[in-house]
Structure 1
Amino acid sequence: MLGPTAKALVGELAVTGMQLVDIGYIDSEYEWFQMGATSKVKLSHKHTMEHNFAEDITLPAAPAYAAQIVADLSQEGMEPNED
């Protein structure tokens, strides 16, 4: 799940004899499966490139995830999380 990098990486490693699978969108596909969706629909909590929805994304609260963040590189200063 490395975005565009995955395709290049898989291509380069495959010539060495390794077997690799790019599973980049499997999480979205699984969510649509769980929803019983018969076509791709907007997922309100994530961007889905193959369906081109990147607006109005609302991330759910995830305290356990947030507690594991060491540094937020999207913020100025990039100070480590000291909580």
Structure 2
Amino acid sequence: MPTYDYRCPSNGEVIEVRHSMDEQLTTWGELCQAAERDLGDTPADAPVERLLSAASVLSSGARTETEQPACCSPEGMCGCR
């Protein structure tokens, strides 16, 4: 199953989840359920957006929108293959 990064504009968090290619998560509640995490202070109906990315490496937890995946250099150059 592929992995996808989703960003929540309401809180700035980016979360990586696995789901089928035909599924699309649209709210923070759906994303938190798929990632098996608590909503925190963000409303369940807050919209999320799927980020465009190359093949992902599954990592644990969440990262802020300023953090880069492990395969990216500090300069922002991505070495994922």
* TM-score class, shorter: under 0.3
- TM-score by length of structure 2 reads 0.25
- TM-score by length of structure 1 reads 0.25
More strand, by proportion: 2
> Which one has more relative contact order, counting CA pairs under 8 Å at least 6 apart?
2
More helix, by proportion: 1
